[in-house]
Amino acid sequence: MAVGPASVARASLAGRATSRRSLLERESVFSWVMLAPGVLFLLAFVAYPFVYGIFISLQDRRVASPGSFVGLANFVAQAQDAVFWQVTRNTFIYTIVATFLKMTGGLAMALVINQQFRGKNLARALLLLPFIVPTVLSTVAWMWIFDPTFSVINWTLRHTGLVTENFSWLGNATLALVSIIIVNTWRGLPFYGITLLAGLQTISPDLYEAAAIDGASVTQRFWHITMPVIKPVLIIVTMFSVIFTFSDFQLPYILTHGGPANATHLFATYAFDIGMSAGQLGMGAAVALAMLPALGLLIVALTLYLRRE
């Protein structure tokens, strides 16, 4: 039988398809094909900006100008800047206090909404609202809440006779930091609450029943059943929360822009002012990278702890 050119081409195509299929059937190849989109995404939107940030932090890089390598000069300059140390202090206080409040409040929230009560699902949905509303929008609402004249907090305090004069929530240095911590806590609570609720729901009710029969008190059940089960979730949530809080920008930027007199300046807002307003991209990148050691240590420590557990 004569073999025409068409059948040769068909055979060659079929052969190529088969070899492609067999290639994909190899686990090592298939796994990389599946991972590729994610890896490319991370390379483009996480690795590249990160490496580029390190690159320009080592340069005297002014806006719209080529940079020149200056080594660690930007970091040295920051170390000699009193405002930078105030920003460092603010960021640590802000992160530690807000994270603690979110952790304890979120845990309490999760424990409450894990109970059976009428309207449970509605309550769960409503509790998510602070997390869903765009930060810019909710922060503008908080601006009104902290306004000296129109503040609902001041109004309530005065009308209940608790105070005679309005608090200057955003004008007083201490209260301004307290105010941004309050707003951050309000916004971050649902993240803790819902994630911990997911952890709580994995606990079998049988465990609680058995413990109750054995005479364990509510506190004992919490420490010996609830906590061990949700601890890994709590650690992961805390890790994320610390990262988000440490690098918070929108909230302080809108509410106070770092004022009064730098009392609420955080790493992100200060880096933005130096990089964008002053046009010193290299120096701005150096300020932003100052967050890295603390966050890196935290992530490594928590990851090691999780592995050990």
Stretch near other proteins under the rule CB under 8 A, chosen from 4-12, 232-240, 250-258, 293-301: 250-258
Is residue 274 near other proteins by the rule CB under 8 A? yes
Nearest in space to 106 (alpha carbons), one of 233, 204, 229, 220: 233
Is residue 68 near other proteins by the rule CB under 8 A? no
**Least spacing, CB of residue 123 vs other proteins, in Å:** 35
Q: What is the per-residue binding string for other proteins in 187-226, x denoting contact by CB under 8 A?
A: ----------------------------------------
Q: At what angle do helices 173-200 and 120-127 cross, to 10 degrees?
A: 140
Among 14, 63, 79, 301, indicate the residue that binds other proteins (CB under 8 A).
63
Cα dihedral across residues 67, 270, 77, 300: positive or negative: negative
**Least spacing, CB of residue 254 vs other proteins, in Å:** 9
Is residue 83 near other proteins by the rule CB under 8 A? yes
Rounded distance between C-alpha atoms, residue 185 and residue 79, angstroms: 30
As a 3-state breakdown, the chain gives helix, strand, coil percent values, each rounded to 5, of 75, 0, 25
Residues 118-177 close enough to bind other proteins by CB under 8 A: 143, 147-150, 168-173, 176
Q: At what angle do helices 5-25 and 27-42 cross, to 10 degrees?
A: 70
For 138, what's the count of Cα atoms within 13 Å in the CB-facing half-sphere?
Answer: 18
**Least spacing, CB of residue 255 vs other proteins, in Å:** 9
Stretch near other proteins under the rule CB under 8 A, chosen from 23-31, 59-67, 98-106, 108-116: 59-67
| Burial zone of 84 (CB within 10 Å; 0-12 exposed, 13-18 middle, 19+ buried) | buried
Which single residue is written with the structure tokens 């609420």? Answer: 264
Is residue 258 near other proteins by the rule CB under 8 A? yes
- The site for other proteins, by CB under 8 A, has a size of 35
CB 241 within 8 A of CB 191: yes
Is residue 250 near other proteins by the rule CB under 8 A? no
Q: Which residues bind other proteins (CB under 8 A)?
A: 62-65, 77, 80-83, 143, 147-150, 168-173, 176, 256-262, 273-274, 276-280
